[in-house]
């Protein structure tokens, strides 16, 4: 899996505890080793995780080893980013993006 520094990995087994039951909103990146755009996104995720630490939790999940969660949320393309608030997905974004755009989309999702 393409690891973003400072971004923990979640699995099918702990997704509910780490994401759905989290106290903060959570940005989940669905990723895979073979995904080129995921590699481009890794430093962006690391920066967002560091800068927004008190406001949003950022995690990654490897779709190849966690098919249950991938299937549950209908994720077909990598990377897919889902913003969860109070256990519910409130925003979905597909593909790599610049940090500024990602932060803007997170702000919109949290304001909704």
| 34 catalytic per annotation | no
**What confidence tens digit (pLDDT) does each residue in 2-23 have?**
789 999 999 999 999 999 999 9
- Which one is catalytic: 7, 27, 28, 35? 35
Q: Measured between alpha carbons, how far is 14 from 71 in angstroms, rounded to an integer?
A: 16
Amino acid 2: pLDDT: 78
What CA dihedral angle connects 90, 5, 61 and 53, to 10 degrees? -30
Q: The whole model's pTM is what?
A: 0.97
Q: Measured between alpha carbons, how far is 42 from 47 in angstroms, rounded to an integer?
A: 9
Q: Is the pLDDT of residue 1 over 90?
A: no
Q: Measured between alpha carbons, how far is 83 from 15 in angstroms, rounded to an integer?
A: 13
Amino acid 30: pLDDT: 98
Domain topology for 9-111: Glutaredoxin (3.40.30)
Extents of the domains making up the chain = 9-111
- Which one is catalytic: 7, 19, 38, 78? 38
| 38 catalytic per annotation | yes
**What confidence tens digit (pLDDT) does each residue in 38-81 have?**
999 999 999 999 999 999 999 999 999 999 999 999 999 999 99
């Amino acid at each position: 899996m393409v690891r973003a520094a400072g971004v923990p990995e979640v699995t099918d087994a702990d997704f509910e505890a780490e994401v759905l039951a989290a106290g903060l909103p959570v940005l989940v990146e669905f990723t895979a080793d073979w995904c080129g755009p995921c590699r481009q996104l890794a430093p962006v995720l690391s920066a967002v995780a560091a800068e927004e630490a008190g406001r949003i939790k950022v995690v990654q999940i490897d779709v190849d080893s966690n098919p249950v969660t991938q299937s549950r949320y209908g994720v077909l393309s990598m990377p897919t980013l889902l913003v969860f608030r109070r256990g519910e997905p409130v925003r979905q974004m597909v593909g790599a993006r610049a940090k500024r755009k990602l932060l803007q989309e997170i702000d919109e999702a949290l304001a909704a």
